[in-house]
Amino acid sequence: MSGLRLENVTKVFGKTTAVSGVNLTIEEGAFCVILGPSGCGKSTLLNLIAGLEEVTEGKIFLDDKDITGLAPQKRNMAMVFQNYALYPHLTVFENIAFGLRLRGEGAQEIKAKVENISGSLGIEDKLGRFPRELSGGERQRVATGRAIVRDPELFLFDEPLSNLDARLRGELRSEFIKLHQRLSKTVIYVTHDQVEALVLGEQVVVLKEGLIQQVSTPLALYQDPANLFVATFIGTPPMNILKLEVRNKENKLKLVRDELAFEAPKAAQKVLEKYVDQEIYFGFRPNDAKLNPEGQLRGEVVFTETLAEVHHARVRIHPEIEINIKVDEPVLPRSLVRWTLEEDRCYLFDKMGERI
């Protein structure tokens, strides 16, 4: 097992900074997920850890040993790629055994290890097949088996499930969790899918434009986002965000945008005193608002979205603002409704998007 530490790690390609000043500690045995939108530097960061890209600035430590300039093959890491990277001319057995043969292990030892790993991954009956004869999920299991059989200090996964359908992704997520529990090794897993991140990760690193936005547990990311980006990136449907102006009316702070106006929640009154006559972002989760015939706030239902047995009404509360509200049952489009907000479940961000 091993822990990993990155100190001020930066990667520049020409005039583009792909990763900027990353400081990160991943404890040994942890399952760490690097999460962010496409092009944010996730895979580049993983390649830097693996040694597939050179660090422009900063240092990388594994088990307190500086590995910044160490060749990839000397880092004792195993990487699983999005496209599986299997050798098409080799059978499943030969693909899994490839690294063991390079290390010069004996035939009987290789056979025992490959059969053990393939059995644990449910592909023991596919050992004689070639990659072209396998499904996407089976190919991913082979790629994972090839990584496991090497017994590395650290596993790196680069969007391993992105080419699979929803059912297979769900199955393999469960397998990754069981695999981590069984091996107790450090895992660093890159994805753009927040569901994967929140299900798999013990520690989640949110990345945007090469910069770390927040490092936390899945629950803390959802309940206590550090900034506007994290707040809107985590959660389905996303957090409702209203751009409003803070006004002092009759010694009460109100949040205003044209005809839309409501008193700021009591829990937010004090912190908003310094933002009077300024614009802020006011956020709340769809679960923290509800339709209420006696509510002070009004809106018109645009449509209701249903996923499984969960319903969310899309409600227009201003010509330019629509919000999502969790409802008990579908509501007809164009219905005029009133709604209320849980007083203590709001989030405030300044005009730069930082939490206040």
- Domain 3-233, second-level architecture: 3-Layer(aba) Sandwich (3.40)
C-beta of residue 315 within 8 angstroms of C-beta of residue 301? yes
Q: How far is residue 320 CA from its own chain's centroid?
A: 29
Higher pLDDT, 283 or 169: 283
DSSP string, 151-163: --SEEEEESTTTT
> Do 193 and 162 contact (CB within 8 A), yes or no?
yes
Ordered strands of the 240-249 beta sheet: 260-263, 252-257, 240-249, 279-284, 347-349
pLDDT reading at 148 higher than 60: yes
Distance CA 214, CA 200 (A): 17
Question: Cα(266)–Cα(262) distance, rounded to whole angstroms?
Answer: 12
Domains 3-233 and 240-349 fall in the same CATH topology: no
Report which DSSP code applies to 238: P
Average pLDDT value for residue range 16-43: 97
What pLDDT score was predicted for residue 342?
A: 85
pLDDT band at 264 (very low <50, low <70, confident <90, very high): very high
DSSP alpha helix (H) spans, the chain: 42-50, 92-102, 107-120, 136-148, 166-183, 194-200, 218-223, 228-233, 266-272
CATH topology of domain 240-349: OB fold (Dihydrolipoamide Acetyltransferase, E2P) (2.40.50)
Q: What does the pLDDT read at residue 63?
A: 92
Nearest Cα residue to 16 out of 68, 60, 56: 56
Which bin fits 245, alpha (ψ -120 to 50), beta or left (φ > 0)? beta
Q: What percent of the chain has pLDDT over 90?
A: 85
pLDDT in tens, 78-132: 999 888 889 999 999 999 999 899 889 999 999 999 999 999 899 999 999 999 9
Average pLDDT over residues 253-257: 96
Residue range 128-147: mean pLDDT, rounded: 93
Per residue in 151-206, pLDDT (tens digit) is 999 999 999 998 888 888 888 899 899 989 998 999 999 999 999 999 999 999 99
* Domain ranges for the chain: 3-233, 240-349
pLDDT of residue 1: 45
